[in-house]
């Protein structure tokens, strides 16, 4: 076997296999076709009993990908044909990218550079007919929240700030809903900061916002230096193309967070993230896919790309020596469906645009098939949670009497 293969054909420095797609690619070149099909079914699932189909994109989108060197993939999810409902097909896109300039460059230049880098990718989504596009977490800036330096707060902006105005024009031009995760400065409440996703409608108007519910305190991810847990609950935004929600980054580790968006009626939940290989890569192909299955909706998972090096070294109280970067943001953005199928992921090392056609009828079809909502015991869970949050809570543990007898 050729062990120099990495995600989407890239080669790692040490010649090792890295990334979920690497394994898929390696197997495809070394297994008999019939065995490969079975392995593929287990790795990526099957959609309505079939492999996912590739979408033929316009030459103009492919030309932008070639000229600006970003990974471009397009895959279609289907649903069973129904007698009383027409298909509800929506085209959805995910953007992953690295920063444009070193973190030592003037902040205004860094921000402008990212805008310029994303323009051709968003244009490619537009000419490809994408209806809903989601960008990565804190896309307007380097992910500086490891440093705990307050100077990075300068990147924060109000909901109707520079980045929103930039995207409003593109949303209107391409009749496209855009989800824009930013560092928000709340001008109405003492200019405090939030990690926020702004939802821009296809007419260029702001539909609403959601603030990140769960803030990590893991290793270098000391984000509560900048913002705290959000106050917007679990909103679902009804757009002309379907009902969408945004589970920002660390929220993907909390099953009840996923559940709440589903209970509010989401059909597509985006998970814009910034996470590094050493910390989370084994979890990445699993959590969102599991959420799509458990909650009968589609999930779009986005991770940024590259290694962002900061001018001042920092530590995280974990005994490791001081360092100037988080590690490698491994990209690998992908879609998951309610039927357990998922797309291959984007590159681990390059900017990229993942496009998927999805028939939203699949959401109800899998609610009917598996009956998770019908068979759930919400009243039992609610009773436990009501007891758990009280100071006098005691876990429901039934011990073998002989345990205590033997210990005495």
Q: Catalytic residue numbers?
A: 137, 212, 249
The token pair at 327 is 């590690």
The token pair at 359 is 């028939």
Element (H, E) at 95: strand 89-96
| Phi, psi dihedral angles at 200 (to 5 degrees) | -105, 125
Which residues partner with 245 through β-bridges?
A: 269
Q: What proportions of the chain, in percent to the nearest 5, are helix, strand and coil?
A: 35, 25, 40
List of residues 6+ apart from 117 with CB closer than 8 A = 97, 100, 351
Q: How far apart are CA 362 and CA 359, in angstroms?
A: 6
HSE at residue 283, side-chain half, CA atoms within 13 A, is: 15
Give, as one character, the DSSP assignment of residue 55.
P
3-state secondary structure of 381: helix
**H helix count then E strand count, the chain:** 12, 17
């Amino acid at each position: 076997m050729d062990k120099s293969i990495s995600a989407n054909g890239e080669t790692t420095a040490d010649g090792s296999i890295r990334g979920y797609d690497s394994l898929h690619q390696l197997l495809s070149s070394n297994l008999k076709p019939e065995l490969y099909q079975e392995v593929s079914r287990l790795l990526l699932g099957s959609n309505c009993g079939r492999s996912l189909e590739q979408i033929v994109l316009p030459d103009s989108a492919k030309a932008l990908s070639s000229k600006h060197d970003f990974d471009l993939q397009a895959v279609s999810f289907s649903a069973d044909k129904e007698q009383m409902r027409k298909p509800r097909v929506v085209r959805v896109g995910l953007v992953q990218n690295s920063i444009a300039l070193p973190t030592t460059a003037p902040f205004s230049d860094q921000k402008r550079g990212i805008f310029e880098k994303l323009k051709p990718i968003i244009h490619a989504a537009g000419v490809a007919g994408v209806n809903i596009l989601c960008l990565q977490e804190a896309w307007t800036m380097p992910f500086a929240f490891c440093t705990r330096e307050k100077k990075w707060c300068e990147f924060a902006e109000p909901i109707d700030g520079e980045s929103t105005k930039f995207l409003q024009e593109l949303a209107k031009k391409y009749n496209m809903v855009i989800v824009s995760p930013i560092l928000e400065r709340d001008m109405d409440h003492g200019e405090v900061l939030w990690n926020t996703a702004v939802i821009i409608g296809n007419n260029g108007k702001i539909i609403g916002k959601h603030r990140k519910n769960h803030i990590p305190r893991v290793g270098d991810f000391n984000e509560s230096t900048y913002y705290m847990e959000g106050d917007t609950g679990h909103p679902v935004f009804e757009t002309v193309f379907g009902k969408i929600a945004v589970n920002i980054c660390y929220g993907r580790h909390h099953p009840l967070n996923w559940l709440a968006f589903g209970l509010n009626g989401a059909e597509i939940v985006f998970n814009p993230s910034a996470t590094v290989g050493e910390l989370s890569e084994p979890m990445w192909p699993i959590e969102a896919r599991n959420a799509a299955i458990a909650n009968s909706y589609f999930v779009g998972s986005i991770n940024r790309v590259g290694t962002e090096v900061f001018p001042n070294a920092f530590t995280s109280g974990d005994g490791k020596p001081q360092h100037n970067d988080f590690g490698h943001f491994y990209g690998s953005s992908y879609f998951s469906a309610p039927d357990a199928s998922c797309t291959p992921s984007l590159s681990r090392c390059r900017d990229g645009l993942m496009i998927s056609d999805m028939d939203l009828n699949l959401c109800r079809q899998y609610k009917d098939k598996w009956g998770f909502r019908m068979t759930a015991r919400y009243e039992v869970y609610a009773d436990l949670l009501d007891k758990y949050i009280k100071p006098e809570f005691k876990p429901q543990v039934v011990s073998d009497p002989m345990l205590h007898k033997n210990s005495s």
